[in-house]
Structure 1
Amino acid sequence: MGNDELALTRRSLHGVAELVLAGPQYRATGRLRLGVVPGGFATTLMPRLRVDGSGVSDSEGATAAIHGRTPRELGAELGVAAGRPEGAYEGGSGVEPDETLAVDPGQAGLILEALALGHDALVAFAAGESPVLWPEHFDVAIRVHEMNFGVSPGDGFIEEPYAYVGVASPPAGEFWNAPFGAAVPLRDLPDALAVAGFFTEGRERAG
């Protein structure tokens, strides 16, 4: 699945999540958390913004297409000042406010499907937790039992969408195949129950 279109679309959506949604929300409320919603992802507080496929919309229904636009242009059209949540974390998407974004609809669909699958799997795994889409890494995750469980749409470690279990010190064994714990591509986990099963196995193996 790894290809330039996927990576470029992921970078652009990550940039929108970070600069157009999380940055304005953080400046308004001091909170970073975004959420996965049907068809995309959204802020959890003010301003009310959401990404559906290849566009960003506000609470009044105004929609701005992402492809070929910059975060600054998107923010101006939606009435917010685009920018990173400065001081909240290091790293992030690397997207600048005046960078032209590129979104392939098919690749965007794969990314959003991965995040939706991750959200559903996390709810099945830990019903009392609220999955968070973090703007720093653009992954949907929870932290329970001092462990991290989540789904990434791909990154520098694995180019394609994958599920992961993060622990402070990975135990010995084939299950623990990543520096941070364990990771499995979503192509090897056919549905939310399979992903939840991977999370459960990780929790049990970690002791």
Structure 2
Amino acid sequence: MDIDSDILTRTRRSLHAVAEHLLAGPQYRTSGTIRLRPCPGGFATRLEPALQVVGTDLVTPAGPLPLSGTDCATLAAAAGLVPGGTAELYSDGSGVPADQRLEVDPAAARRIADAFALGDAALRALFPGADPVLWPEHFDLGVTAEAVNYGVSPGDTYLAEPYAYVGPHIPRTGAFWNAPFGAARPMADLPDEPALLAFFTEGRHLAALGGSSKP
């Protein structure tokens, strides 16, 4: 199903803000890490406090709280959390203040959650034993191996829809490497785990060759 690009972008930015203000920040203060993880229907903290975003809800030990139509500061108060706390840890981020109204469309949230779930499965298949991390800074799921970043982004200023990427630390040249940071493919073109795994595998092979891929 096609989702309006503006709706997808607003949902992604809102979920990114929630990941920073309500999951990563409180987790960092309590457990010393900002690393998040995918979970069925969304994403979650790895350590205390135990929090999840599932669909359009923030799921807390006390129950679910709807995201749309409110803001992170209000949600934090309802959940007994102190919002924010990641700004001093990195220079980038969602750019969404804690008092900005959230807009989370159910279909758009599902598309982002599905992209993270698919990425998690493919990355674990590519690197058995790996534990892909959902980073709150860029709100992308990734693994770094052999000086190459592999992952899935829900969208950003480069591409406003979910996409997979392979990013060698040392730039490569050639037809495969179609993005400023390496290679990117829309998730719409990689509809299942075998297709996504094939993209990552090709990128791993070409990155290992060094220099340029086929012209």
2:19 paired with 1:52: no
TM-score by length of 2: 0.93
Q: Aligned residues, how many?
A: 206
2:199 and 2:38 map into 1 onto residues whose CA distance is: 20
Relative to structure 1, the CA distance from residue 144 to residue 2 in structure 2 (aligned partners, 3 Å threshold; closer, same or farther) is farther
d(CA) in 2 for partners of 1:30, 1:188: 37
Q: What is residue 28 of structure 1 aligned with on the other side?
A: 30
1:129 is aligned to 2:147: no
CA distance in 1, matches of 2:173, 2:5: 32
Instruction: Quote how far apart the aligned CAs of 1:194 are.
Output: 1.2
Match of 2:212 in 1: none
**Counterpart AA for 2:196:** V
5+ residue gaps, structure 2: 209-215
Partner of 2:175: 174
Contact 1:34 1:41 in 2 (8 A): yes
After TM superposition, list the pairs within 5 Å mapping 1:42-191 onto structure 2.
Answer: 42-58=44-60, 60-191=61-192
SS of alignment partner, residue 59 of structure 2: strand
SS at match of 2:70: coil
Aligned amino acid, residue 36 of structure 1: P
- Per the alignment, in what secondary structure is the counterpart of residue 74 of structure 1? helix
- On the 8 A contact 2:149/2:169 being kept in 1, the answer is no
Residue aligned with 1:27, SS: helix
Aligned partners of 2:87, 2:160: CA distance in 1, in Å?
Answer: 27
TM-score between the two structures when normalised by the length of structure 1: 0.96
Contact 1:22–1:32 (CA<8 Å) still a contact in 2? yes
Letter in 2 for 1:181: G
State the one-letter code of the partner of 1:157: Y
Q: Which runs of 5+ in 1 are unaligned?
A: none
The C-alpha deviation readout for 1:17-41, integer Å capped at 9, x for no partner, is 0110001111122211000011110
Task: Please state how far the C-alpha of 1:128 moved relative to its aligned partner.
Answer: 1.1
Amino acid at match of 2:155: G
Residue number in structure 1 paired with 2:200:
199
Counterpart Cα distance in 2 of 1:17 and 1:84: 11
Deviation for aligned residue 1:170: 2.2
Aligned mate of 1:12, from 5, 11, 14: 14
User: Aligned partner of 1:6: which letter?
Assistant: L
